[in-house]
Structure 1
Amino acid sequence: MIDWDRVAELKQTIGATAFGQVVILFLDEADQSVAGLGAASTAQEMQSAFHALKGTALTLGFTELSEIARLCESRAEAGESDLPLAEVQAIYTRSRAAFVQHLPTLTT
């Protein structure tokens, strides 16, 4: 679900203070991205939305989310618009909860 090695690498690369700021920005952006997926009305809008979500998910190691976003992005690129939005939401919710639960050990 989460690539903790990626998370540790990011923290080491940018430093603890910046890491905390990135986490706040990431979670806010991801919350908005996932909530806004249903507003995309065309395959092109969905492709763009999933592309952005994929990048955001990869930033903090949300591997399961980035993978489903990649698959949905590809399907939208092929013109599909009936994508598993509820599944994406569920994966994000689980990933976010696991990340937030583990966050105190990451920021020390």
Structure 2
Amino acid sequence: MLDWSRIEELLGEVGEDEFRLILELFLDEVEGVMMRLSHDDPAQLETDLHFLKGCAWNLGFSAFGALCDLGERSVHDGNAAGVIIKDLLGSYSESKKVMMQGLDAALHPARRAQ
């Protein structure tokens, strides 16, 4: 679901404080785009899925990114209706939950012992 090696790499590059800022910005931007996903404008849907895919893969949300990639290709091939927005929302939500739980444990190992 998550690419922890990518997450750890980014965390090592920018440090905990900067990573938390990046994560907060990522979540805000992604949630804004997720709220406007619609089949009404296939060109916008394809653009939004491309944006979400890039954001997801850059921050290690591998399963969500793969689903966005699949949806983007589907829209590109003329099948916007094949994009299941509910599945995208669910994948993002679950990925976010796993990230928050795993990140807290990675940054605060003492809490795991409690």
TM-score after normalising by structure 1: 0.90
Aligned length: 107
Deviation at 1:16, TM superposition (A): 2.0
Tell me which stretches of 4 or more aligned residues in structure 1 moved more than 4 Å.
none
User: Between the two proteins, what is the percent identity of the paired residues?
Assistant: 27
Deviation at 1:103, TM superposition (A): 2.4
1:29·1:56 contact (CA, 8 Å) conserved in 2? no
Amino acid at match of 1:41: D
Amino acid at match of 1:59: N
State the secondary structure of the residue aligned to 1:55: helix
State the secondary structure of the residue aligned to 1:51: helix
Answering whether residue 45 of structure 2 is matched by residue 43 of structure 1, we say no
* Alignment correspondent of 1:68: 67
Partner Cα distance (1:21, 1:14) in 2: 10
1:50·1:70 contact (CA, 8 Å) conserved in 2? yes
Higher relative contact order (CA 8 A, sep 6+): 1
Answering whether residue 79 of structure 2 is matched by residue 80 of structure 1, we say yes
Unaligned runs of 5+ in 1: none
CA gap 1:107/1:26 in 2 versus in 1, 3 angstroms? farther
- Return 98-107 or 23-32, whichever deviates more: 98-107
Partner Cα distance (2:30, 2:105) in 1: 21
Deviation at 1:105, TM superposition (A): 2.9
Answering whether residue 3 of structure 2 is matched by residue 3 of structure 1, we say yes
State the secondary structure of the residue aligned to 1:79: coil
Partner Cα distance (2:92, 2:4) in 1: 16
TM-score after normalising by structure 2: 0.86
Over the residues paired in the alignment, what is the CA RMSD in angstroms? 1.4
Partner Cα distance (1:35, 1:107) in 2: 30
Partner Cα distance (1:102, 1:19) in 2: 14
Partner Cα distance (1:8, 1:105) in 2: 13
